[in-house]
Amino acid sequence: MKYLKIDKCEAFNRRLSELALARNMEPPPAQNTLDLLEVMVNGMPSGGFDPATMKKRLRLMDVIEQARSNGAADQVGFEDADFEELKACAKSAKWTMLSSDIVALSDEIEAGGSGS
């Protein structure tokens, strides 16, 4: 198992609030690591999703949703094969804003998270 810490993503949330206020919009609900992982996993790979990739990504979404439903959890764990797919997602993810939280999460994934 490989684990990632669930963080509050304060820099990301601060930036979202700034962008919303600049556009006279309500700030969105606070995001955390699980929300950023969802964006990574849902990012369309080059050429789209084939059924095999969908299966892998849906397994990742199940892990993320399970961690979300356990609101007291401070980390999310992935089987080794699932973590390899998550690494591919993180490597190919495209973002529409700058955030040190995104960079930190991508670096943690690239480093292999923490072991069991």
- The answer to whether 3 and 63 have CB atoms below 8 angstroms apart is no
pLDDT classification of 72: cutoffs 50, 70, 90 = low
pLDDT at 45 over 90: no
pLDDT classification of 71: cutoffs 50, 70, 90 = confident
Alpha-carbon distance of 114 to 100, in angstroms, equals 20
* Per-residue pLDDT, 74: 87
* Per-residue pLDDT, 46: 84
- Tell me how many degrees the CA angle 39-44-45 measures, rounded to the nearest 5: 120
Residues 6+ apart with CB under 8 A from 71: none
The answer to pTM > 0.75 is yes
pLDDT classification of 41: cutoffs 50, 70, 90 = very high
Alpha-carbon distance of 95 to 80, in angstroms, equals 25
Dig out the tokens for 83 from the structure: 């973590």
